[in-house]
Structure formats: structure tokens, C-alpha cells
Amino acid sequence: MAAAGGGGRSGAELIQLNVGGKRFSTSRQTLTWISDSFFSSLLSGRISTLKDETGAIFIDRDPTVFAPILNFLRTKELDPRGVNISLLLHEAQFYGITPLVRRLQLREELDRSACGNVLFNGYLPPPGGCHALRALVRAMGEGLADTGGDPGMVRIVCGHHNWIAVAYAQFLVCYRMKETSGWQQVFSSPRLDWLIERVALNAKVLGGSLGEQEKMVAVASCNEIILWALQADGNGSEIGVFHLGVPVEALFFVGSQLIATSHTGKIGVWNAVTKHWQIQDVVPINSYDAAGTFLLLGCNNGSIYYVDVQKFPLRMKDNDLLVTELYRDPSEDAVTALSVYLTPKTSDSGNWIEIAYGTSSGTVRVIVQHPETVGSGPQLFQTFTVHRSPVTRIMLSEKHLISVCADNNHVRTWTVTRFRGMISTQPGSTPLASFKILSLEDIDGHAGCSAGSDIGPFGERDDQQVFIQKVVPDASKVFVRLSSTGKRICEVCSVDGTAITSFTVHECEGSSRIGSRPRRYLFTGHANGSIQMWDLTTAMEMLGKPLEAGGLTEEELLQQLEQCDLALTRTPDMSPAVSFAHPGTPRASSTRYVGQAAGCRALRPGLGSCGQSDAGLGEVGVCD
């Protein structure tokens, strides 16, 4: 098998290895001091061997990662510098080097926690618990087998004020956040006969006088829409079932009015005052936006139309909505993205309006309508021809103009100059950044609903907006990036390791306490039916600030772990236990870990600590 030496003793037998084309020489004793490892099985004949032309045992693995593993077998010490710890752990598991695996897993717990990191804000389990959700999924039968996706996963999450609505395959759940009790489930819909594809939530109508119907939630599938009124006690009553006649592509509220639109050119409106459902035929619709009481529609013929939804009850003519053409693109290209910005000086009639839109040819234009131009309509302000694919998203905010095209979500941004709140030509909009938000979608729909994984941009128009990037369909991690520059703000990893199937960013109102302010949260829906919440306000505040040194570095931790035999150690119990005295004297090599915070989750492979930077390791002591 190999050349022998050292007087013929088996422990001194030399072993020649060819790992991935690189030669290594070591002894049998070095390779086999760990029982039941890959090498013990290999050299005992339990695993068949393949030899190269020189007689060295060939192992088809990465030689770069094998070198530190062999050094650990020789010295029982590990130098982590210049080594990819995750890759090293994977190879150590393959070779069955249990002491090294244990050490690396403990090191990994420095960065991973089942209690999340400082941004983790809360966890909502599946409604009724995992077992109840699985039972409901089984009760659904195979009716959804051809629709794609897991019936128990979260398909869509949307928020309004201090409420969120969570859509599963065939039912909807609403939660409300209270300052004293946190998030509480307040409504669960009956099981529906079809797959939910769109959700709209209205939790507060400013100046509303609708009584119990001031809080409403609606869902849509194909051409059917169901609308419920939500009461504070958690009960819900069905307002009605409406039909658009064509597939519903967008569902949302403008004030208390429920709006449904379709690419085919239909718009449906349910008016909360008149309790009337009205459908209007217009030209094919590609985009929309709402500002104040105005609903603007970007259409296939290059026109932007508007409707003042607040005046629906007073402005009906022959039972038709008054849909008015506001502007027509000079090239008559289809308006594929639309964003409206109302300046701080906007009057109640909404005359002070700025609109950014993108077209099917990739053109980005900004049009403005100031009070002095009301009679003549909006005027063309700026044009950018930087995209060569259709513009899919656009955002005009107080400080930035952001556009996204269909070329793998290519983003272009500009800074916007304002004078007394109005967009200004001095010096005008200047280029700021160019980047991509690559996000792959599952063509079979098994990783979620496209309506629940919109990349953004999210955020109020007077603040920084963000993009949410989920690169691959089954990812358990998303990246939060500034929409203006593409800079990464943070990354969010599922605390239970489940795939993220939907997400949204929503700003919740602050409490009634003095000094309280709204906070921005990322809500992620998961394959197991749970909702996880992340504090983006804190993430934005921490952006650019250096992290202060806290607990052990990975080098310090590994140095401490080298002082004991991990096979003779244990981690803290999962549940608190009363203090007791151990009989007898502990062995010199026995150790225990003392957590920094009482009640922390046990630090052991596959589980995390309490989200502290040092994985909850206050001390690593060796008992004398």
C-alpha cells in the first residue's frame, strides 16, 4: 500500500497520498488516531482504494483545504488564517475528523444564532403552529397540486400602518401590533377555493368616517376579488365578492377605495361610501401609482391617465369613471413604470405634481405640473436614455430618481436638486450610480409568489429607499441595499434556516410616547409558514459605523478550545436548572461554558446562541 519505515512498526508506517493531484506524505499513526474517520476506514480496507502510477493513494478532493486538515491531524492545532472556515468544515465532515468538526462548528456559532442578530425583531409562528398548518395543508388535498408551490408556505406579505396581512395558498391571516403586547393575530379568513395571487390591506383611513369598515383586506385570484371588513376584536365580515372579468394584475387601496387593474385594459373600483363596484374599460394598462387621492395609469398607447378617486361619488357620468388623459409620451412608447411625487407645497387639489416614468424603449422622463401650468398640463422636464431594455420600476423621491430596467434589474440613479421643495434645473439631476439587483425566479413557482418577492425600491419618498435582493429562489438569506447607491446595508438570514418565500418592507407607526418615531421593518415569509421581522431603522443607523470589539475573535476562541478535549465537554442545558453540587472532584480535562446572558439558547452544533457578537461565551475555562 505504501512505503514502510521506522523498524516495521505499523504506527510508523509511511503513507503516500495524492489529494487532487498534490502529493502528501504522512504516517499511519497521524491519519488513524481518530477512530471511525475516513482514513481509519481507508487504511483498514473498509473503503476501497485507488492508487496513482507511483502507488500513492488517490483522493479526489481539494488539496488546498486538505493541507490544514493534515496539519491538524499532526499537531491537534488549527491556524484559521487564510482558510475558508465553511469550506474547511465541509471537508472535515467528509473526512470524519470529529474533534476538528466540533471546533469549527463552535467557531461558526460566533456568527449564527437561532435568536438572530441585533436586527432580528420578532418571530410569528405558523397560524395554529406547524402541526395545525400541516393538518390544514393535508385537508386541502391535491387541488393545488398543479399550481406550484407548497400550500403551507407564505406567498405574500403586505403591511399598512401597524397591521400586516399574510397570504398562504388558500387562506389569509392578519396581525396587528400593539405597543404593550406586540404582534397579535386578529383575523383568519375562511379557506378559499382558489389560490391567492394578490392581497391589499387598508388599516387606517385618514379622516375616515366608515366606522367598522375603516379596516379592510382584500384578496384576488384570476378575475375574482373578495373583500372583508376587519373589526378590532379580530372578527371579520365579508363585504362582497366582485369580478373584474379579466385576470387581476394589481390590487390596492387608494384611501378607502379598493382598486383592481388588469393589463388587458380594465379598472375596477369599489367605493367605500356608495358601496358600489364599478368597472371601466381603458386602453391596456402597464403601470400605476397613487398620490393623495389621485390614481395614475401608465398605458400601452404612451398616455398617462388619472382619476381622482375621492370624487367618484360626485363625478359619475353614465355610470363611467372619469378617466382623463394627463400626458402623452412624445414618442408614444408604452409607459411601463410610473412614480408620482407630491411636493411639500402641493395643494389639496393636487396641482403641484412631479411624475417620473419609464417606457418600453428604456427611456426615462420627468414631467412637472406646477400651479402656473395647470391649464396647459404637465411639461416635459428631463429625459434620460440610459437603458436599452424596458423600464420595469421607477421611483422619484425627495433626493433621488431611481430607475430599473429588465436587463437583470439594472439600476440607474440620479441625485435630484430641489429649490423650496420643487425640482430644479440648477444644476438639475446628476448621475449617481449604476448597479444590478440580480434576482432569479423559479419558473415552476415552488419558491414563492412573484407578487410577494418584489425587489422594491421600498420606503417613504422623503427618506432613503432600499432594495431587497434574494439571489436564488430557495435562498434563506436576503441582502438589503440602498436604492440610491446599491451599497449593502445588511444581510438577513432566516433564524430557523428555512427558505424565504416572500418579503416586504413596511414602516410601522411609533408609540404615543414623547419622542417615539416610526420604525422601518423587513418582514420575511418562509417556507414553513412563519414570519420573521427585522429592524431596518437600526440597520440604517448602524450603516458605516465601525463595530466595537466585543467577545472572542475566532482566533481567540480556537486558541481556547485547543486547551481542552471537546469530547469531554458539554454546552449549557436548553432549560434553566437549579444549582447543585457535583459529587467528587471533576477530572482535570472537564470544562463548561458560562453564558453571558441567562436563558440563552444552548450553543451546540445546529443551534445558536442569543445573537451576541461572541456567541454568548463569557468564559472558556479549564478546570484544574
From residue 321, give the alpha-carbon distance in Å to each of 88, 281, 293, 318, 550.
65, 9, 14, 9, 62
Query: What nine digits make up the cell of 182?
Result: 406586540
Angle of helix 85-95 relative to helix 98-108, nearest 10 degrees?
150
* Residue of 273 and 62 predicted with greater confidence: 62
Is pLDDT of 373 > 70?
no
Q: What is the pLDDT of residue 178?
A: 84
Gap between the Cα atoms of 172 and 168, Å rounded: 6
Residues 297-335 pLDDT 10s: 999 999 999 888 777 555 455 556 678 899 999 999 999
User: 3-class DSSP state for residue 12?
Assistant: helix
The answer on pLDDT for 72 being more than 80 is: yes
pLDDT at residue 113 tops 80: no
The residue ranges of DSSP E strands in 20-167, in sequence order, are: 22-27, 57-59, 120-124, 156-160, 163-167
Q: Of 249, 354, 257, give the one whose Cα is nearest residue 309.
A: 257
d(C-alpha 2, C-alpha 51), whole Å: 10
Asked whether 330 and 386 are in contact (CB, 8 A), the reply is: no
What residues have CB less than 8 Å from 159, skipping those under 6 apart? 165, 201, 504, 506, 508, 523
Find the distance separating the first CA and the last CA of the chain, reported in whole Å.
Answer: 44
Report H helices in 181-229.
none
> Distance (Å, rounded) from C-alpha 250 to C-alpha 412?
25
Cβ neighbours of residue 488 closer than 8 Å, sequence gap 6 or more: 479, 480, 481
Q: For the ranges 80-89, 180-189, 592-601, which has the lowest average pLDDT?
A: 592-601
As a whole number of angstroms, the distance between CA 229 and CA 623 comes to 64
Instruction: Say if pTM beats, i.e. exceeds, 0.85.
Output: no
Length of the chain: 624
Of 17-31, 113-127, 436-450, 546-560, minimum mean pLDDT range: 546-560
H helices present in 96-213, as ranges: 98-108, 129-140
* Residue 442 reports pLDDT greater than 80: no
Q: Is the peptide bond before 457 cis (omega within 30 degrees of 0)?
A: yes
Residue 187 has pLDDT above 90, yes or no: yes
**Which of 236-245, 310-319, 601-610 has the lowest average pLDDT?**
601-610
- Element at 578 (helix H, strand E): none
Q: Give the residue among 177, 189, 262 at the shortest CA–CA distance from 227.
A: 189
Closest Cα to residue 166, out of 504, 469, 476, 444?
504
525 neighbors 503 (Cβ within 8 angstroms) = yes
The rounded mean pLDDT for the chain is 80
Q: Is the pLDDT of residue 52 over 50?
A: yes
Which residue, 550, 568, 527, is CA-closest to 610?
550
Strands 379-384 and 466-469: unpaired
Choose between 504 and 292: higher pLDDT: 504
Residue 564 confidence (pLDDT) above 90: no
Segment 399-423 mean pLDDT: 91
For residue 351, pLDDT over 70 is answered with: no
User: Can you give the pLDDT at residue 371?
Assistant: 65
Segment holding 539, helix H or strand E: helix 536-542
Q: What is the pLDDT of residues 481-498, one digit of tens each?
A: 999 999 999 999 999 989
Whether the per-residue pLDDT at 613 is higher than 50: the answer is no
pLDDT score recorded for residue 402: 96
Contacts 24+ apart (CB under 8 A), 509-518: 509/161, 509/162, 511/179, 512/179
Helix extents (H) in 306-356: none
Q: Which residues pair with 383 in a beta bridge?
A: 365
Q: What is the mean pLDDT of residues 396-425?
A: 90
Enumerate helices (H) and strands (E) in the chain, giving the number of each.
Answer: 8, 38
